[in-house]
């Protein structure tokens, strides 16, 4: 299906064509200017290639009109697996602007024109989510974590409508289990919600402008979205945990799902939600409390 699920009549015509063209031109020019720098850095093995994407994505947020409000802080400990809900392709830019990490993406993304190249330049891990290859994908992620990397996982396995968080698939959480001689892996849940357009709360009617899910076509959705005004996106970092806190990947996935779901609901409805804490939180090193702070926009 092409078009925008749940949007009817004149609402489809929202946005400015001149703003779309200006944003698209600036985005392509900015990307073209930094792409060769990242390529050279990767070829030479420069350490700054892990942080240059953050600078790139922050500028992209400004170009595209995303104002990011961050609650809490990403852990500085490594290796770490960030587990976030997934709403749209723009999640890459939003999360990439606040987390110096690589993404775990579906295998088909590697073959996408343009976006596939960008994913490769950020050293993304491409996984085939079929059951028969689960062990192979787990090992690929585990190798990167064992090397001390930071990775971002979308455990829903697909993007949702932005109103709720889909069930988490627990298979890839097995990569967070400490192997022999490997450092312990920190797992930090992250919730992401598109909350306001030009200061006005985004309700269910307008959320499809930002949520890309189901069989919605990418090109018309992108063209509509970039013509809108300033969009507030709330990113909340929750209490970090580890595989050893829970003992099984399903329990770990359930904890992350509860925290992410609570964070999304709180951001959308403005009411704090009851959320679980890691069972050993009091016994581990303290983490910064969740304090709102503007980052990009």
Asked whether residue 4 is domain-assigned, the answer is no
Asked whether residue 49 is domain-assigned, the answer is yes
Q: Give me the DSSP letters along 205-255.
A: TTGGGT---TT--HHHHHHHHTTS--EEEEEEE---EEHHHHSSHHHHHHH
Asked whether residue 3 is domain-assigned, the answer is no
SS3 (DSSP) at 36? helix
CATH (domain of 144):
3.40.1130
Long-range Cβ contact pairs of 58-62 (< 8 A, separation 24 or more) = 58/97, 58/295, 58/296, 59/30, 60/27, 60/30, 60/31, 60/93, 60/97, 61/93, 61/94, 61/97, 61/296, 61/297, 62/296, 62/297
Asked whether residue 2 is domain-assigned, the answer is no
Asked whether residue 203 is domain-assigned, the answer is yes
Preceding amide of 2 cis, omega within 30:
no
Asked whether residue 275 is domain-assigned, the answer is yes
DSSP 292: E
Provide the sign of the torsion angle of the four alpha carbons 235, 240, 242, 248, taken in this order: negative
DSSP 122: T
Residue 204 CB: number of other CB atoms within 10 A? 11
Angle of helix 17-44 versus helix 52-64 axis, rounded to 10: 180
Asked whether residue 187 is domain-assigned, the answer is yes
The vertex-74 CA angle with 295 and 126, nearest 5°, equals 100
pLDDT of residue 289: 45
Asked whether residue 1 is domain-assigned, the answer is no
| pLDDT tens for the chain, residues 1 to 297 | 344 444 444 445 678 899 999 999 999 999 999 999 999 999 999 999 999 999 999 999 999 999 999 999 999 999 999 999 999 999 999 999 999 999 998 888 888 888 888 999 999 998 876 656 667 777 788 889 988 999 999 999 889 999 999 999 988 898 888 665 678 899 999 999 999 999 999 988 889 999 998 888 888 999 999 999 999 999 999 999 999 999 899 999 999 999 999 999 999 998 888 888 888 654 444 444 444 455 555
Strands 231-237 and 292-296: unpaired
Supply the range of the domain harboring residue 273.
9-296
Which residue(s) pair with 67 in the sheet? Answer: 232
Number of compact structural domains in the chain: 1
Of 36, 82, 30, nearest to 56 by C-alpha is 30
- Tokens 């088909």, located at residue: 108
């Amino acid at each position: 299906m092409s078009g925008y699920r749940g949007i009817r009549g004149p609402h489809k015509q929202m946005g400015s064509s001149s703003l779309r063209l200006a944003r698209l031109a600036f985005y392509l020019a900015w990307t073209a200017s930094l792409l060769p720098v990242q390529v050279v850095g990767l070829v030479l093995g420069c350490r700054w290639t892990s942080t240059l994407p953050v600078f790139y994505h922050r500028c992209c947020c400004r170009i595209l009109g995303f104002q990011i409000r961050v609650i809490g802080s990403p852990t500085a400990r490594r290796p770490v697996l960030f587990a976030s809900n997934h709403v749209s392709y723009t999640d890459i830019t939003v999360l990439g602007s606040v987390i110096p990490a690589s993404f775990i993406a579906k295998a088909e993304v590697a073959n996408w024109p343009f976006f596939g190249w960008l994913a490769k330049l950020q050293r993304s891990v491409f996984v085939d989510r079929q059951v028969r290859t689960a062990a192979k994908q787990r090992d690929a992620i585990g190798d990167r974590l064992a090397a001390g990397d930071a990775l971002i996982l979308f455990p829903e396995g697909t993007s949702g409508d932005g109103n709720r968080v889909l069930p988490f698939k627990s298979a890839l959480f097995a990569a967070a289990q400490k192997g022999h001689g490997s450092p312990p892996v920190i797992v930090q849940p992250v919730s992401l919600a598109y909350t306001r357009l030009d200061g006005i709360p985004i309700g269910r009617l307008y959320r499809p402008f930002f949520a890309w899910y189901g069989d919605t076509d990418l090109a018309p959705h992108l063209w509509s979205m970039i013509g809108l005004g300033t969009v507030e996106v709330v990113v909340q970092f929750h209490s970090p945990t580890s595989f050893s806190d829970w003992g099984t990947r399903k329990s770990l996935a359930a904890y992350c799902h509860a925290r992410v779901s609570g964070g999304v609901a709180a951001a959308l409805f403005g009411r704090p939600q009851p959320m679980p804490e890691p069972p050993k939180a009091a016994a581990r090193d303290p983490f910064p409390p969740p304090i709102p702070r503007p980052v990009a926009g």
